[in-house]
């Protein structure tokens, strides 16, 4: 069987498995096993040897130690109710502005992204916290749904992000170390948040009924000093945690794994300060961390098996010849690679996309002369869309499961469309202005 034919069949079978609702880890492992045996003449021992070597290499990767630590930090923070106090304070401070409550949602989502790094926790938390208040204050439903879904996805990009940790572990390149990725993601993440803020503010000026301000009576309940004190009291603790984690990494004081341990300690201290560090919270956070870490690691293990099999049968060479063997301009090749990631995001999650595409696309990008860190960040920003693009955007289902029944699925689908466009604009800005990605790593991590 030719490498071209077996490559096509491998992707077809994987897609059929996924569409049949086979769990992703088993779909990857099953496809790799089937085509690995076909290619090596059904040499079971040889395939098992390759899997064992890959599994050992993965579990021996010290960078991935940060994954359970960041997840535990996120779980402790989610249960400490920091976001509740912060949102209430920002609501009082910004509620008088048209769209002010929507702006408060974005700001809280940025804080959650920089402290938790888990999309599900951010979207569900904001759906429960902000969803009812946006409805109560008369905010347009579709915009509100899209805003919470898009704001929640910032957690996958703004460091400390689980995706960036996994990305750095998969590439194994010095240029795309976790520290470099963390530094490179700061500006793109803030640019996306800024685009969301600008959209909410402008659309609410054009259509005041979409985001009315709070009444004068409610705004006058608190003096300016009281409002400022409320914001500082709820904002300073998470900021200290953010700087303790990010500062130690960017300053070269600690590795990502060590900084994640600092983050866990800081999250525990904050939970204790908010009087929420109970045995129930610790036990719940531990169990949730175990489940999430197990899910991530089994995907990484079986994804590595799929990638190794794909490369072993010659799939990487087939894809390379297809993309750069013709007369296509290198920017056209980049457009094809990013476009394929965008399309894959409509059907499968970011872990699967990275595991399938990264071993092929990264060598191609380097052969074309693109900066690996810059190209990596373009992939990470475009992967934001995978959480919002119908029909299988995870954030859409997180929100639908947690929010009020007043938010219907068609309404949620419609609401995220402007934010998908804003994410694409964010990718184009990073593409046109590479310094947005490369400046901070060159400044701090030489």
∠ CA 139-140-144, rounded to 5°: 80
* Mean pLDDT computed over 402-417: 82
| Confidence band of 203 (pLDDT split at 50, 70, 90) | very high
CA 446 to CA 444: how far, in whole Å?
Answer: 6
Closest of 6, 27, 7 to residue 17, by C-alpha:
27
Q: Identify the domain containing residue 413 by its residue range.
A: 3-55+63-444
* Mean pLDDT computed over 142-148: 90
Per-residue tokens: 383: 């992967």
Structurally, how many domains does the chain consist of?
1
Highest mean pLDDT among 262-271, 341-350, 424-433: 424-433
- In angstroms, the Cα distances linking 169 to 19, 44, 67, 181, 378 are 28, 28, 10, 11, 17
CA 402 to CA 209: how far, in whole Å?
Answer: 25
| Confidence band of 37 (pLDDT split at 50, 70, 90) | confident
* Mean pLDDT computed over 277-303: 82
Q: What percent of the chain has pLDDT over 70?
A: 90
Confidence check: pLDDT of 10 > 70? yes
- In angstroms, the Cα distances linking 314 to 99, 263, 319 are 53, 42, 9
* Mean pLDDT computed over 120-138: 77
How confident is the model at residue 219, as a pLDDT? 61
How confident is the model at residue 42, as a pLDDT? 81
How confident is the model at residue 373, as a pLDDT? 92
Does residue 419 sit in helix, strand or coil? helix
**Residues 6+ positions from 225 with CB-CB distance below 8 Å:** none
| Confidence band of 428 (pLDDT split at 50, 70, 90) | very high
∠ CA 223-225-231, rounded to 5°: 105
* Mean pLDDT computed over 420-429: 94
Confidence check: pLDDT of 133 > 60? yes
Q: Which of 310 and 334 is assigned the larger pLDDT?
A: 334
Which residue, chain included where needed, has tokens 């009576």?
217
pLDDT in tens, 100-126: 888 888 988 888 787 766 676 677 777
Q: What percent of the chain has pLDDT over 90?
A: 13
pLDDT in tens, 63-98: 677 778 877 887 787 777 776 777 777 777 776 788
* Mean pLDDT computed over 333-354: 82
**Residues 6+ positions from 421 with CB-CB distance below 8 Å:** none
Confidence check: pLDDT of 99 > 60? yes
Per-residue tokens: 258: 């060590």
Confidence check: pLDDT of 444 > 80? no
| Confidence band of 166 (pLDDT split at 50, 70, 90) | confident
How confident is the model at residue 419, as a pLDDT? 94
Q: Residue 417's CB: how many other CB atoms inside 10 A?
A: 14
pLDDT in tens, 253-267: 777 778 888 888 888
What phi and psi values does residue 133 have, to the nearest 5 degrees? -70, -35
* Mean pLDDT computed over 13-20: 80
Does the global pTM surpass 0.75?
Answer: yes
- In angstroms, the Cα distances linking 274 to 41, 59, 113, 238, 271 are 61, 36, 20, 12, 5
Q: Which of 421 and 385 is assigned the larger pLDDT?
A: 421
Does residue 333 sit in helix, strand or coil? helix
Torsional sign, CA 16, 21, 25, 30: negative
CA atoms within 13 A on the CB side of 334: 22
CA 259 to chain centre: 19
Instruction: Answer yes or no: are the C-beta atoms of 210 and 143 closer than 8 Å.
Output: yes
Confidence check: pLDDT of 158 > 60? yes
pLDDT in tens, 167-197: 887 887 888 888 889 889 999 999 999 999 9
CA 99 to chain centre: 25
């Amino acid at each position: 069987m030719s490498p071209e034919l077996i490559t096509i069949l491998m992707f077809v079978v994987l897609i059929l498995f996924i569409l049949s609702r086979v769990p992703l880890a088993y779909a990857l492992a099953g496809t790799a096993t089937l085509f690995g045996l076909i290619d090596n003449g059904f040499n079971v021992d040889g395939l098992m040897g390759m899997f064992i070597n890959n599994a050992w290499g993965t579990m021996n990767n010290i960078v991935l130690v940060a994954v359970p630590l960041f997840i535990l930090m996120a779980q402790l923070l989610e249960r400490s109710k920091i976001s509740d106090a912060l949102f209430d304070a920002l609501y009082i401070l910004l509620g008088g502005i048209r769209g002010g409550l929507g702006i408060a949602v974005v700001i809280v989502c940025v804080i959650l992204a920089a402290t938790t790094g888990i999309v599900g926790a951010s979207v569900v938390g904001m759906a429960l916290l902000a969803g009812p208040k946006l409805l109560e204050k008369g905010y347009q439903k579709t915009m509100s749904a899209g805003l919470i879904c898009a704001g929640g996805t910032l957690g996958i990009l703004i460091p400390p992000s689980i995706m960036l940790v996994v990305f750095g572990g998969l590439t194994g390149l010095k240029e795309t170390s976790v520290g470099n990725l963390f530094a490179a993601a700061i500006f793109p993440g803030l640019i996306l948040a800024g685009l969301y803020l600008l959209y909410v503010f402008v659309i609410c000026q054009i259509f005041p009924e979409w985001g009315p301000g709070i009444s004068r009576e409610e705004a006058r309940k608190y003096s300016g000093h009281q409002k400022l004190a409320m914001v500082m009291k709820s904002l300073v603790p998470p900021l200290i945690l953010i700087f303790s984690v990010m500062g130690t990494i960017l300053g070269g004081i600690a590795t990502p794994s060590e900084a994640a341990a600092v983050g866990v300690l800081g999250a525990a201290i904050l939970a204790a300060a908010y009087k929420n560090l109970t045995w129930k919270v610790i036990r719940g956070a531990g169990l949730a961390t175990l489940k999430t870490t197990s899910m991530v690691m089994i995907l990484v293990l079986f994804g590595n098996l799929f990638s190794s099999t794909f490369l072993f049968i010659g799939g990487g060479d087939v894809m390379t010849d297809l993309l750069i063997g013709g007369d296509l301009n290198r920017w056209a090749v980049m457009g094809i690679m990013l476009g394929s990631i965008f399309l894959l995001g409509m059907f499968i999650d970011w872990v699967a996309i990275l595991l399938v595409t990264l071993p092929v696309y990264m060598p191609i990008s380097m052969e074309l002369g693109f900066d690996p860190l810059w190209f990596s960040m373009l992939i990470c920003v475009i992967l934001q869309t995978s959480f919002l693009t119908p029909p299988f955007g995870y954030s859409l289902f997180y929100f639908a499961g947690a929010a009020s029944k007043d938010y219907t699925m068609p309404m949620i689908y419609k609401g995220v469309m402007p934010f998908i466009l804003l994410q694409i604009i964010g990718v184009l800005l990073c593409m046109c202005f590479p310094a947005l990605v490369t400046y901070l790593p060159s400044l701090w991590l030489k």
